[in-house]
Amino acid sequence: MGYGGAQGNPTRPRRLVVVGSGIAGLYAALLAADAEGGAAAEVVLLSKGQLEHSNTFYAQGGVSAVLEPGEAAPGDSVEAHVADTLAAGAGLNNTEAVRILCTEAARDIAGLRRYGVTFDADAQGDTALGLEAAHSAPRILHAGGDATGARIARGLIAAVLERAVSGRLRLETGAFVTELTTADGRVTGVEYLQNGERKSLPADGVLLATGGAGRVFARTSNPSVATADGLALAWRAGAAVGDLEFFQFHPTTMAMHEVAGGPPPLLVSEAVRGEGAVLLDADGYRFMPDHHPDAELAPRDVVSRSIALHLARTGAPADSPVFLDARGIEASRGPGFLARRFPTINAATGAAGYDWTAEPLPVSPAAHYWMGGVSTDLGGRTSVPGLYAAGEVACTGAQGANRLASNSLLEGLVFGRRAVESFLGAEPSHDSTAPRAASAAGGLTLTHASAALSRDVIGREGSATEPEGVVTSWSEAGVFSREALGRLMTGAAGVLRTGPDLDAAAAQLALWAGSIDSVEASCPREFEDRNLLLAARLLVAAARKRTVSVGAHYRADTDHASAPTHSMQRISS
Ligand code: SIN
């Protein structure tokens, strides 16, 4: 039985609760609030922090899209975008999801523009198109140079606030969702904490748009809100999840003194390499051509892995920086180009004491984007009726084993809209290959080529299905802390992985789960800890199942072609 009009009270509009305020949540909430006629819905947008607290806000590079002829780069095509997405994803993508992503991109760029978002123009006044790694043509739209995510978020937030004031949408900030309520196998609403008070909100549909989980790792480009909340909520409600072994590390985040749990390190956009920056080691050697014919413009997983393998081969500590040299860009494009094209990076590097027009920047890979997530069909439906997911928290299969640069904001847009359309009962119609049926059998169901895990891969209460742990420095970690979790996950499930390391990590995670899950959480921080730990356990379980290297999942022990000659080294602190 639904809460609202369609299945419950026929005089009341159906209620959609959207959880999360990144691009997928904001855009979906707006579309649902603006739906007219019979499709009109009551929309409630819940955000655990302020609306600006999202991964979207930090996105620099942009949104990839092949626009209409005339606006697209000469010779570029949707087919080329599809091919690039599949190649970066190591072919493990859901091809139908990729086709939709690339075909419907122009439609949702137009949707963003309707909400007041403007993109940068070139000297002729045409939409400026950037090139990023593994794209065969310039097709990245950007705003404010390298402030694309912030510009998009601000535009959408302004539109959301306008609708909140006029009563078309209800907005709750500081609202931490602790549980999805269910009845008869259907999601019926949410419970949340706000100002220390427990509240509940019935709904006909709940759309999870909670973003990613970078805080599972020690170094991440993600802000502190990226704690796997949506994945954990969905898993506990019985939803299928998939592709969890695939976590992308961005190769170039500034390596500077960092405070554990503090702000993320500065991301130096892929677009900087798109403009011609190269990577050097501490001896000034340009190592990427040794690893891939496209060198610095190879897919992101390749570049991050090549950095790790190069450091291991040269015997340098695993957490040593390499150096991003953008001096050639300034030399070839003229003085002031870097500051104009990348104002955010220019200001931040300057504030950190670097003049990147004159010296290379120290950079290191950092956890950036989870390709895996809550399995959905092409209409954003999860395996649990009434529950939808879109954006990074979801796994449509569009990103495969490694996401193509600037396809993430795009996925949030396209599949956020499609989830709303599903909820409102408009196209697309239900996809019969959705994970729903198989999930009823209790399995961890996958919509595409991911390793299948059964649902009992970890117990809900932290049962120890994991093997006896191999003794490592992590088991000296003692009690659970976010820092200890980050160290363990970076060492065992980061860019380079081995079977024994993953086994040891699984054992340590089960021990931690046994202790912290037995105590009831009472504040957002404690709920987040449990969510992070659950996400880590699911990721490691998926990674243990996949014994060969593909995409962002690299098994250094079984991949002899490019295994490091030195034994793997762990992050030291
Ligand atoms: C970047 O600007 O390098 C990040 C954009 C993305 O994650 O696609």
Residue 550, domain CATH: 1.20.58.100
- C-beta 248 within 6 A of ligand 1: no
Find the CATH number of the domain harbouring 21: 3.50.50.60
Over residues 451-470, the pLDDT tens digits come to 334 566 765 434 444 445 44
Domain identity same for 375 and 516: no
Q: Does residue 60 line the site of ligand 1, with CB under 6 A? A: yes
pTM of the shown model: 0.91
- Is 207 among the domain residues? yes
405 lines ligand 1 (CB under 6 A): yes
Q: Whose CA is nearest to atom 2 of ligand 1?
A: 61
**Given the residues 300, 417, 418, 497, the one annotated as active site:** 300
Query: Is ligand 1 within 6 A of the CB of residue 269?
Result: yes
Number of domains the chain is built from: 3
Task: For residues 538 and 482, state if they share a domain.
Answer: yes
pLDDT at site 419: 98
**494 and 346 in a common domain:** no
> 110 and 201 share a domain?
yes
Q: Is residue 449 assigned to a domain?
A: no
Same domain, yes or no: 278 and 229: no
Alpha-carbon span 426 to 227, nearest angstrom: 32
Residue 236 shares a structural domain with residue 287 = no
Q: Is 487 a catalytic residue?
A: no
Between 273 and 60, the higher pLDDT residue:
273
C-alpha closest to that of 244 among 368, 367, 375: 375
**Residue among 57, 404, 406, 413 to mutate when testing ligand 1 (max atoms within 8 A of CB):** 406
Task: For residue 61, report the distance from its CA to the centre of ligand 1, in Å.
Answer: 5
C-alpha–C-alpha distance, residues 459 and 255, integer Å: 38
Based on the fold, state whether residues 279 and 415 are members of the same structural domain: no
Q: Closest ligand 1 atom to the C-alpha of 270?
A: 3
pLDDT tens per residue, range 50-78? 999 999 999 988 999 999 888 999 999 99
5 band by pLDDT with thresholds 50, 70 and 90 = very low
Whether 155 and 225 map to the same domain: the answer is yes
**Half-sphere exposure (Cβ direction) of 65: Cα atoms closer than 13 Å:** 26
Residues 95 and 241 in one domain: yes
**Which atom in ligand 1 lies closest to the alpha carbon of residue 268?**
3
Same domain, 337 and 375: no
CATH of the domain at 287: 3.90.700.10
Q: Which domain holds residue 330?
A: 266-364
pLDDT on residue 8: 53
> Is the domain of 300 the same as that of 154?
no
Q: Is the minimum distance from the CB of 408 to ligand 1 under 6 angstroms?
A: yes
pLDDT value, residue 251: 97
pLDDT the model gives residue 17: 98
Q: Identify whether residues 336 and 419 lie together within a single domain.
A: no
271 lines ligand 1 (CB under 6 A): yes
Question: How far, in Å, CA of 247 to CA of 218, rounded?
Answer: 13
| Pairing, β 41-47 against β 14-19 | parallel
543 assigned to some structural domain: yes
**List of residues 6+ apart from 184 with CB closer than 8 A:** 1
Residue 452 belongs to some domain of the structure: no
Please state which of the ranges 73-77, 113-117, 236-240, 469-473 shows the lowest mean pLDDT. 469-473
Q: How far is the CA of 303 from the centre of ligand 1 (A)?
A: 13
Tens digits of per-residue pLDDT, 528-552? Answer: 999 999 999 999 999 999 999 999 9
* Cβ-Cβ contacts under 8 Å for 36 (sequence gap 6 or more): none
Question: What pLDDT is attached to residue 3?
Answer: 56
